[in-house]
A and B are shown apart, each in its own frame.
Chain A
């Protein structure tokens, strides 16, 4: 009789230990995925940081009326690679809007439009723009999986006990909900 009880207790203990190990490992995996996804965003933000001075140089001779936009871009640029996550998100969104304005305005300058260098920059910046959007999407998807795991029962017990923290989504304002209209 005693050996049966002992066996049952041992079985339950083994199950608990196994559960802890499995949960811990999946939490680690999810957290690593989030970190990896974050570095993807960083790579793209850095790329944009590098491209912006080229763009400013290419257009500043042509676009006279949009000096303000250009200065704003230059100002926001440094925040792309330094600052907190929400600061980066904010700077990134501001630059997206400013770039849209510049590319829209540039259509009034046929000479600028004809320049190979400008065309190349425009495609590269548009490409980087969509890569930022996609890496942000990938990051937020991964953050959601991690946060679900941390909040859901019973993995939340292990997560709290081992001090796993929920991650922050990469977003700045209500921008995601409605597309921004650029007015001229």
Chain B
């Protein structure tokens, strides 16, 4: 798959994700409307709600993600080396220089977000700036810039925001149902419907995590590793950076969470013992990535 095919595949997948989001929310809205006795109103609310949510995630999803991760803009005076590296590699990638942010954390990690190369940002931890050598940092930044160039960022941003909203909503509905069942003895068809709805939602949650896995397949990381090496012309740089992360005693990024974890270059929720939450193991094994880079 060349770059242009990759870009259109990502745009298509982003669109499918939005469509799926609409279907789920509108279905939920219908059930909710049915429950309160006005299905049309439920539908209408769901439609308006999902439209607003899609617009928000398209235009400010990246800002939300940056805020969630406690990222602050990187000052050229304070991080001249980082700024120069991003600027240089952007020239090589043929994209405008993205905005640059830092997360104050000693762990080594980085992520990119945004909706297209013109509206994108790269975020690195201060640990990455201080602890990586020049060519290692170049490798990491090049990996992130290839995510930007091939529109992985748009796809992944939608995954974070939209899947996050659905997960939150189903959680909310489930709680409501459980609460109602305990405190109000609802009988008849409505109770049956609620139980059914609860079932659907309970089924939905694991499905969503499957969706995350599907959307941010491991292949995406391997591809960005390879593309990044093409940019920096030095696969060993990224391989060394990944080795440093692998051997790090404290690889946990405090400000990362399950929703944003898959954005990072390497799983930020990993503890040193290597225990990974299996449901969210969105990153390929680091040893395998290093091996593949060294074969390039």
A residues neighboring B (CB under 8 Å) = 33, 37, 40, 44, 120, 123-124, 126-128, 130-131, 133-135, 137-138
Instruction: From A44, A120, A135, give the contact of B80 (CB < 8 A).
Output: A120
Q: Is the interface of A mostly helix, strand, loop or mixed?
A: helix
Stretch at the interface among B86-94, B153-161, B184-192, B278-286: B86-94
**CB atoms of B233 and A137 under 8 A apart:** yes
| Contacting residues, chain A, for B89 (C-beta < 8 A) | 134
**CB atoms of B94 and A130 under 8 A apart:** no
Q: Give residues of chain B (68-118) contacting chain A, Cβ–Cβ below 8 Å.
A: 80-81, 83-85, 87-89, 91-94
**CB atoms of B91 and A127 under 8 A apart:** no
| Contacting residues, chain B, for A128 (C-beta < 8 A) | 84
**CB atoms of B88 and A123 under 8 A apart:** no
Instruction: From B80, B81, B83, B88, give the contact of A134 (CB < 8 A).
Output: B88
Instruction: From A37, A130, A137, give the contact of B85 (CB < 8 A).
Output: A130
* Interface footprint category on B: 10 to 19
**CB atoms of B92 and A127 under 8 A apart:** no
Task: Say yes or no: A138-B81 contact (C-beta < 8 A), given A130-B88, A131-B87, A131-B88.
Answer: no
**CB atoms of A131 and B91 under 8 A apart:** yes
**CB atoms of A134 and B84 under 8 A apart:** no
Instruction: From B84, B87, B92, give the contact of A123 (CB < 8 A).
Output: B84
From residue A149, how far is it (CB to closest CB) to chain B in Å? Answer: 15
How far, in whole Å, are A163 and B91 apart by their CA atoms in the complex?
29
How far, in whole Å, are A6 and B84 apart by their CA atoms in the complex?
62
Interface centre among A33, A40, A124, A137 (most CB of B within 10 A): A137
Interface centre among A37, A127, A134 (most CB of B within 10 A): A134
Task: Say yes or no: A127-B88 contact (C-beta < 8 A), given A120-B80, A137-B233.
Answer: yes
